[in-house]
A and B are shown apart, each in its own frame.
Chain A
Amino acid sequence: MVVWLWSALLLAILTFLVIYPTGMLLLGTLTDSNPVTDGYQNMHLSLGNFATVLANPNVHAALGNSLLACTGGTVVAVVIGLAFAWIVVRTNTPWKGFIASAGMLPLFVPPLVAGVAWAILGSPKTGLINTMLARMGIEARVNLYSMAGIIFVFGMYYAPYVYMFTAAALRNMDPSLEEAAEISGAGPVRTLLTITFPLIAPAIISGMLLSFVVMLGIYGIPAVLGAPADIPVLTTYIFALTSWAPPRYSTAAAVAMILMVVTGILVVLQQKVLSGRSFTTVAGKAFRPRSLNLGPWRFLTLGLAFVYLIIVVVLPTLALLVAAFRKFLFIRDFASLFDGKQYGLMHFQRLFANPATVNSIINTMKVGVITALIGGVLAFAIGYTVNRTQAPARRAIDVIATAPVAIPGLVIGVAYLWAWIGLPGGFYGTIWILALAFVARFLPDTIKALSTSLMQIHRELEEAAWICGRGVLSTIVTIMLPLARPGVVAAMTLLFVLAIRELGSSLFLYSSSTMVMAVQLLGYYEGGNISVTAAFSLVQMVILGALIGVAHWLSRGAADGGVGRSG
């Protein structure tokens, strides 16, 4: 009886958060009117709109570009993320704690900021890298305003997703599984390929899927790097459709549907691949982490890690610093880069002269905390119900909770706006509509992050507690939560970071009093001032860094695994 009520409650919450807005989106696809503004009675349902969109060659181009960019980006991300996880968890590379923390930094960088920073660095005409190359007398020039540029930046910035999943899995893997292979006569490479990677395959696939899907939904990077080369991807195309005058929302919704279908196929594929495999590797016995002695090779791995850090952290930060402190970003030649007269605080003064800046920071913090708390609790409830109980309808709960993965933020924004603005009560225009949209939007990511750690906890540990006479609730509190704590902390931190950076869905849900940082940043970018944008980007990065530091400090008692936490 209680379980039925519980399932019904979860389903009700999910209906409100996911099904209802998705339904509104579907309605939007099948009509050429906006159901809210034009009224439901004037709506004529037809497949015509959808068919037109499907036949549109521009849609094909955007879809093709999206798939290409995300596939390429995912390949790069997996290679880097896996290598990173292995270096940090499994080798005696020096300073790996530092490497691990610094390697997570790209997660805190909003995509728009990454795009802007790399535009400053890699523009074919004015990029700092090219200025540098010219100075060194090298003929070659880089051009990041290209598909290769998008793939490169995608791969670099989304590698931490793969890292997070695989590092946790590696850390939770019984090292004797690898030792057994070594004893059996396998060399390190063979062990890696035949034992380690297959064993953490679920984590690799999860990380891969997550990063692919996240890339599919990213606007900032392709917007900045793709626009000058006229490379539309689905997100920039959708954004363009909604920002043209007059906006073409039903076309945008139809394109979004395509995106959802693509992602849906991927999700199903992933589950097919994973089904029938149980990879519970955390045994009842604790084991010592094991690290491979690389000998002198450890300096090579250290070097590789540093190259990565320079590319994702140092160079973009330098670019942003130059942009934020330099009066104009016109750099005649290398020497003028060091002309002290060109630098000052004017962009920061301008930034903070605008009261909206500080307001947006405060609002963002509020939304982030609310999202992380509600989202963390809801995700734990769903993850536990799905993975650990026989509650009725848990398959349905799982499927519905995973659905938002397939909806890009931009479209979720529209869907939620349509869905929620009509509800009674002053919901629209408050911070809660943003927080709930984020909760729904990132539910799959949070659940996935949590499930990995839930799945890896042996059932017996929990059953042991039941046998000790504990109730389900008390078992969760005394056994599951502490054991899954690294996962829960990591998931909540992830959620917080995602919420703080989220642009797409905020764009349609913010109001004058609930303006958030991401929207404000886009405002500055669209306002055409790269320097103020860079200044605000730096401010955001500092704020995020400080918050992560605090979260890290708060969770220092917890086992490893938190975002930004060392190996």
Chain B
Amino acid sequence: MKRMLMSRRQVMASAVGIGAAAITRRSVAAQPFTPSAGLVEAARKEGKMIYYTASFTEVEQEVINAFNKRFPFVRVEMVRASGGQLITRVKTEAAAGKLVADVVDHSDRGLMKALEHLFQDYAPPNASDYLPSALVSPRLWPRLTPGWSIAYNTELVKNPPKTWMDLTKPEYAKGQIGQVIGPSGGTTWTRIMFERQVLAEDYWKRQAATKPALYPSGAPLSDALVRGEVSIAPLIYNAILPKKRDGAPVEIFFPPEGVPIVPYATGIPKTSANPNAARLFLDWSLSPEGQAFTIKDQGNLTSLKEPPFNPEGFDPKVAKVWVPDFKQFVELHDKWLEEWNTVYGYRQ
């Protein structure tokens, strides 16, 4: 218990760091990305790259489209798989010496850290602009930093929740709330860590008492919310914002107790056949311009010390971002997930 408290304090400290940065620099505009002519030429010669990602197909297709608007000569072939399958694929291919990926992009920094040896040394030109707390290895970079929000269907919910704690209220019981299962991947693991470390030690128990409907991942849950299968759901902001923009009957808010964020780990394998195209892609993604795109167009946050933007609806004065302590992120994983499964009655 004592250790518990300690860790929570550490975590809060780093979270405040990111939040504060967000407040001070919210109006800074993104400078355009200007790669070296040599890199562009080399990438053009390669002409393509293979991109492994655990993010969602549609989200990443937009990223690729934006990248291709700047650099149309690099054809990006995407392989999308869920977190676990992507890791297995990378491991298996690497073991057989056939890892064909030029960029690997994953939400679970812990799993990626364990594969650090597969990746080459790489740092973007603006490396020093990134928060040290978001970095787990000099070879892996937080290309994407999504954050958690709560969304509800405006047609179905007359008295919407306002905080994380509201999700434990009996008035939202009997399957009105949808939840992504704990073991689905790094993003959800981050959120449930937040729930237990920041909100309340027994938050899971109280929330599970409302009998939420469980979904295997955030994407189907966001769709279920729009369709009205569930009325309220904690969701990664980038999974629901595009739907709201398209006119779906949903409202989204960042709860005041905190916004758990999930810095991705992205790197270039040593075996990359198109390292220059990969570099160009990552340099662009990690540049203020690339980050601005994921924030503005997709509703992500960023791990840049000085965010060029804040996503629509995110007010750093109201909601503080929270990033998990990496050591605990790795160490607590198995034990806590097992407990989460028990509390939520999820079979494993």
Indicate if A touches B (C-beta under 8 A).
yes
User: Digit string of A266-287 for contact with B (CB within 8 Å is 1, else 0)?
Assistant: 0000000000000000000000
Chain B residue at smallest Cβ distance from A223: B216
Majority SS at the chain A contact face? loop
Let me know if A362 is at the binding interface, CB within 8 A: no
- Give the chain B neighbours of A354 by CB distance below 8 A: 57-58, 61
A364 CB to closest chain B CB, in angstroms?
16
How many Å from the CB of A504 to the closest CB on chain B? 12
- CB of A187 within 8 Å of the partner chain: no
Instruction: Given A126-B227, A328-B243, output 18 extra A-B contacts at Cβ < 8 Å.
Output: A36-B96, A37-B91, A37-B92, A38-B95, A61-B347, A227-B214, A244-B184, A245-B185, A246-B87, A327-B247, A354-B61, A417-B92, A512-B78, A524-B58, A527-B57, A527-B219, A528-B56, A528-B222
Return the contact of B248 from the options A34, A123, A330, A331 (Cβ within 8 A). A330
A55 CB, nearest partner CB in chain B, Å: 14
Supposing A243-B84, A330-B249, A527-B57 touch, asked if A511 and B79 sit within 8 A by C-beta, the answer is yes
* A330-341 contact mask (Cβ, 8 Å, vs B): 1 or 0: 111000000000
A524: B residues at CB distance < 8 A:
57-58
CA distance A428 to B189 in the complex (A): 33
CB pair A515–B95 under 8 Å, yes or no, is no
Given A244-B183, A245-B83, A332-B155, check contact A34 B92 (CB 8 Å): yes
Given contacts A243-B85, A245-B108, A246-B84, contact A330 B227 (CB under 8 A): yes
Q: Please, how many angstroms separate the alpha-carbon atoms of A125 and B88 in the complex? A: 37
Q: Are A123 and B347 in contact (CB under 8 A)?
A: no
CA distance A21 to B219 in the complex (A): 34
CB distance from A236 to the nearest CB of B (A): 9
State the B residues within 8 Å of A (CB): 50-51, 56-59, 61, 65, 77-85, 87-89, 91-96, 98, 100, 108, 111, 153, 155, 183-186, 189, 213-223, 226-229, 239, 243, 246-249, 345-348
Q: Are A528 and B246 closer than 8 Å at their CB atoms? A: no
Contacts of A125 in B (CB 8 A): 228-229
Of A244, A327, A330, A346, the residue contacting B84 (CB under 8 A) is A244
A526 touching B92, Cβ below 8 Å = no
Q: Are B213 and A228 in contact, with the CB atoms below 8 A?
A: yes
Complex contact A228–B57 (CB within 8 A)? no
A525 adjacent to chain B (CB < 8 Å) = yes
Interface flags, A42-77, vs B, CB<8A=1, else 0:
000000000000000010011000000000000000
Minimum distance in angstroms from A170 CB to a CB of chain B: 43
Q: Which residues of A contact B220 (CB under 8 A)?
A: 525-526, 528
Q: Which residue of A lies closest to B153 (CB)?
A: A330
Identify which of A227, A245, A417, A422 contacts B215 (C-beta below 8 A): A227
Taken residue by residue from 513 to 530, chain A's Cβ proximity to chain B (1 for < 8 Å, 0 otherwise) reads as: 101000000011111111
Q: Please state if A512 and B84 are interface contacts (CB–CB under 8 Å).
A: no
Bound CA–CA A422/B215 (angstroms): 36
Q: Once bound together, how far apart are the Cα atoms of A409 and B313, in whole Å?
A: 44
Q: Which residue of B lies closest to A247 (CB)?
A: B84
Q: Is the CB of A245 within 8 A of B216?
A: no
- Residues of A516-550 at the interface with B, using a CB-CB cut-off of 8 Å, are 523-530, 532
